[in-house]
Structure 1
Amino acid sequence: MGLKNFICKDVRNQNEPKRGIVTLRIIYIVMMVAFLLDLVIAGWGAVKYSPYKIGLIFAAIIILFAITYNSSTKVSLTLFLMFTFIFSLSLIPCFGWSAGMQNYFITMLMMCYFAVHAGMAFKIVLTLLVLCVRIVTIFIYSGTLPETEISEVSGKMIQSVNISAVFLLTVIISYIYSHRENIEESKLMKYNDSLAREANTDRLTGLYNRRYASDYLDSVKKAGTLGAISICIADIDFFKKVNDTYGHDAGDLVLKSMAEILRNECGENCLVSRWGGEEFLLIFSGVNGDDAFTMLDTLRKKIKNHVFTFGEQEISVTMTFGLTEYDFSGNIDKTIKEADEKLYRGKTGGRDRVVY
């Protein structure tokens, strides 16, 4: 916990972004550890041969790490890029070309893109600069042997340490600079989903609203190959009497309970929506009119026998259904109007029935 606080300590200037500074501190720690491991593996001979160079590199890492607590991100980042050039190019002769010191250029490249706050043109220039230096190192240092004798096994171990360090830094930099964006993107997606649900859902009943049902019918109209489609408009009988007798809270309870009954009984192939007031629109996909009529008549009987409980009050209602089958060669708006006319006939004909 102490190390985390030490690394994540904010800079003196409150206006400075913290993320870049924290990333640089982690990079310096990883580079320091990797450099120590390289020296341990290479043995005392490497230290004895270049003591001043090694001492200066250690001192530079410590000083640059300390500078991150007092300087701006821009200054610290510039110093890091300069140091990484020097670090890589000065240690290639020490450990040899195969040690992979030149791979630290990848870390520079990533920081150029993630941490540098500048236009894309400037970042491209930095990228080309890093690329040019990397190519030059091939011509100058390719095949360079270490200054001191290092066994083949030790050489491979040093190479593994440096490659692992670069891989680790790549993962760390990518995580630090993408984690917040991923969280924000996830939050935005969830928020957009909630907005979409709210826009398409009736707040009281939780059913799809008229807007969504209309959009769905438009998609049905355009598809034209979904098989039989049966459309029904259902209306609670004498619902105004429920509100007048028991109050609007009781009416809301009946609407919510009715929505749950319709959702549970109509099945997965039926889209249930609140069409308006106490009216519901049912769209049966892949169900012809005869089968839909059988299902609705069974549903009608269940609703008639169901008791809605509001406090100590027991409320019973019935429902009337107007059903028609959609002909894909016809007009879907006309089909809805036909279902509505059949509902009206059911209302005038005594209610509590399915008119098909």
Structure 2
Amino acid sequence: MGKFKKILFQDVENPNESADGPITLRISALVMMIYLLIISVTLVMVHHVWWMAGNLLFVAIYGYLLYLTYENHTRTALILYNIVMLGAVCFNVMLIGWDSGLQHFLFTLVLLDLLFTYLSKWSQGVVVMGLCAARLGLYFFCREHGKIVQIDGACDIFLQVLTTVVVFVLLYLSGLMLSKDSQAVERKLMKYNNELQKAANTDTLTKLWNRHYLMHYMGKKVEHPDDFLSIAIGDIDFFKKVNDTYGHECGDEVLRTLANIFKKEMEGHGVAARWGGEEFIFLFEGANGDEAKILLAHLQNAVRKATITYGEVQLRVTMTFGLVEYDTKLRLDENISIADERLYIGKENGRDRIIY
């Protein structure tokens, strides 16, 4: 079975052609070959052996069609598939009657032809109109002429069930392949949109949320506050000196290192974002001011202990924080302003401290 599957799903050599079309043709041809062989056996069972020859001819043509799909003649195979399907349907409907349901196989051709993108819309339209005309022609033919072979009883029931199942299998197969590309494109678009959204909401250097997105997030939180919120603004002490002494690339490494510390320390407690330059803002969710100050002290201590390596340079930095417990009587920007004012009080009073 593994070898058979490998052969059946073998890719095409043409780099400009998708394998979906040829594979669908192969599976469809195999299904029709089996189906027509079963009809041939049914004809033998009802003592109409000679009519079996017609279906065996169609089986042979389907076999040749399979060969074409492996020789990079997919377009020829598609044309041949349409012709042999139309021929097999017309032959068997005229043979065993309209009630056999074989005319429904023409619907499977419509969906299959839509799978091949190198068929123009005009060509597809012509094919659909041709199939519609063929089905109507068969209907009126069967109204005027009786069927040649009478199939009754268990054979008739078996044939009805088999035909219905095979038609639905072919419709499913073609529909699956047809939707495969559109679903792949949709997934790519969703992934691209998610990446764009993430890029729009993320600070490029630190990979933290940016100021715009955090304000949006906090705005949603304070609309329906169902728990304590606390806000802190932190600033790296003497950051300008780091840039002036070691260069801006070293300063960037400081920002990246601290951002990783913030992510780790804020996990499960809230979020951190880059506020601008060397300033960061922290939203503590479910924590009042006293609780947030304890959490912020752990974060401050982690910053103190961190050794930042840039080339041969190793340095440590400290941070000053202004903290406020969110006051629902004030607007969001007013609460942030209070935290910012407390930050500057900390700067003026020696740095490396939390003002609450």
Identify whether the pair has TM-score above 0.5, normalized to the shorter chain: yes
**Aligned with 1:43: secondary structure?**
helix
One-letter identity of the residue aligned with 1:317: V
TM-score under structure 1 normalisation? 0.76
The residue aligned with 2:353 is 353
| Secondary structure, counterpart of 1:323 in structure 2 | strand
Change (3 A) 1:95 1:128: closer
- Quickly say closer, same or farther: Cα 1:177–1:300, change in 2 above 3 A: same
C-alpha distance in 2 between matches for 1:130 and 1:288: 77
The percent identity for this pair of structures is 34
- Matched residues in 1 for 2:353 and 2:210: separation? 24
Deviation at 1:157, TM superposition (A): 4.3
Per mean C-alpha deviation after superposition, the further-off stretch among 36-45 and 344-353 is 36-45
Match of 1:232 in 2: 232
Contact 1:204 1:256 in 2 (8 A): yes
Q: Which among 146, 149, 164 is matched to residue 147 of structure 1? A: 149
Q: Aligned equivalents of 1:289 and 1:37: distance in 2?
A: 80
State the distance in 2 between where 1:217 and 1:149 align.
74
**1:321 shift after superposition:** 0.4
Partners of 1:257 and 1:311 lie apart in 2 by: 14
Question: Which protein has greater RCO, CA pairs closer than 8 Å, 6+ apart?
Answer: 1
- Structure 1 pair 135–322 and aligned structure 2 pair: CA distance change class (3 A): farther
Shift of 1:348: 0.5
Give yes or no for contact 1:99–1:156 (8 Å, CA) kept in 2: no
Would you say how many aligned residue pairs link Structure 1 and Structure 2?
A: 346
Provide the rounded CA distance (Å) in 1 between the counterparts of 2:285 and 2:134: 60
**Partner residue in 2 for 1:167:** 168
**Aligned-partner Cα distance in 1 for 2:316–2:169:** 68
| Partner AA of 1:336 in structure 2 | I
The 1-side partners of 2:25 and 2:63 are apart by: 12
Following superposition, the deviation at residue 168 of structure 1 comes to 2.5
- Does the alignment pair 1:183 with 2:184? yes
**In the alignment, is residue 215 of structure 1 matched against residue 216 of structure 2?**
yes
Between the aligned partners of 1:284 and 1:136, the Cα distance in structure 2 is 74
Alpha-carbon deviation of 1:342? 1.0
TM-score between the two structures when normalised by the length of structure 2? 0.76
1:266 Cα deviation after fit? 2.0
CA separation in 2, counterparts of 1:127 and 1:282?
Answer: 68
CA drift of 1:261 comes to 1.3
C-alpha distance 127-283 of structure 1, shift in aligned 2 (>3 A) = farther
**1:79-118 paired onto structure 2 within 5 Å:** 84=85, 87-92=88-93, 94-95=95-96, 100-111=101-112, 118=121
Q: Letter of the 1:274 partner, please give it.
A: R
- Partner Cα distance (1:270, 1:191) in 2: 27
- Give unpaired runs (5+ residues) of structure 1: none
Give the conservation status (yes or no) of the 8 Å contact 1:109–1:130. no
> d(CA) in 1 for partners of 2:34 and 2:72?
23
- TM-superposed CA distance for 1:326, in Å, is 2.5
